[in-house]
Amino acid sequence: PCVRKYAEDIVKRDATPKFILQEIFHFLKEKKIVRPAYTTLQTVVSEALACERLRIKACLETYLRDVHKQS
């Protein structure tokens, strides 16, 4: 769970999967956590990206005026 939260925070800075993965590796090394399987890391990165897409979509829907939404 803590790695997922960290990934969600990282994706706000840079949404590049490679960057997110490198930061997760750094986090795991710093916390002395054994690196999970590749598919697990893939899932964590893709879920973080999906959450960020939803967050940005919600922000746009909230703050954009109708005039801007039409264009």
Query: What's the pTM?
Result: 0.84
Contacts of 20 (CB under 8 A, 6+ apart): 7, 10, 11, 14, 45, 48, 49
**Does the pLDDT value for residue 11 go beyond 70?**
yes
Of 51, 59, 53, the C-alpha closest to 5 is 51
Predicted confidence band of residue 1 (pLDDT cuts 50, 70, 90): low
